[in-house]
Structure 1
């Protein structure tokens, strides 16, 4: 119930101090209700008082507790306000690939396991896994790209560059770690 109260407060863009001040309570007192440390939060009269400070109703608190949005519209921000936490979806799980050749020595040698993030574009000098449209998978060091091609190093040694047409690339993935002892 306390978390539902906190969510309602954040939706209204209020801090604990501002919400508490509306009903003559300290931010610490309000925080205790949100943390579930005060059992009186379950009393209807206390719920009316607390939700009244948020311009809401006890029914909105119950709806929030059940996971339904208490109010469909977002209220306009007034001064500095918190909108709650907006998280992106879970990151794409990383994958691993064991190098079979020494083309990338000294950056990585045969037997090194590369962990990569599918879909993450590499930075200059960072390792990358290139999935070609013909099914071939290339491991290279990214250098640069333009609208027509990608330039990478590692085709037969780090001192030789390779130009790959973007039209032949299915996906690019950045190497995020090298695991030598696996």
Structure 2
């Protein structure tokens, strides 16, 4: 009886598999743990990363894979697109590096944390939108249609399409962010584990917290004050999640 040969992966499936590997390494998750979260064997996960299981790369399958990696499903598509454009897989696998984005002319724009930060030209400004009152969600205001001010783009915001600042009013992330300081963020970019993020809710509230993980029901975050605690924000209440990409700005 002839041996069955494993069909070769298509280019599209290989890109999905490589994107999975990049995100898993960025998250610092071993293959075995990712497989356990998904409820499959380590060999099955290895086949996913090799692009050999086309059936997993569906809308539902990608959502399950993203949950196992604690990321938004859109990140898989984002990384897949960057790989297709020729962005280095090894470079993106480093969780200390912010992911590049495509510029307005279709060119990939990079920012390396190892590079000397550039001083942005005077015309490169980011809007200050409302305020983040980290300790009292009910009092947080977000005013994207009425910028309160404009500030020079933070070096870590360069290369992103929608940089903005939010003013910190609470102390739940003290000493990382103190009241009165500005948090430099980028709209719609999903954070990695341990990164500060801003959660925008449907009722206009904003939360400034450390991102921990995401499951099928909630996004789990952490605060430092008045005492360290972790809690979940239900996905149905979330309008958007934005990554904070730099330290406090006065």
Q: TM-score, normalization: structure 1?
A: 0.48
Given the two structures, how large is their TM-score scaled by the length of structure 2?
A: 0.36
Q: Which structure has more RCO (C-alpha within 8 Å, separation ≥ 6)?
A: 1
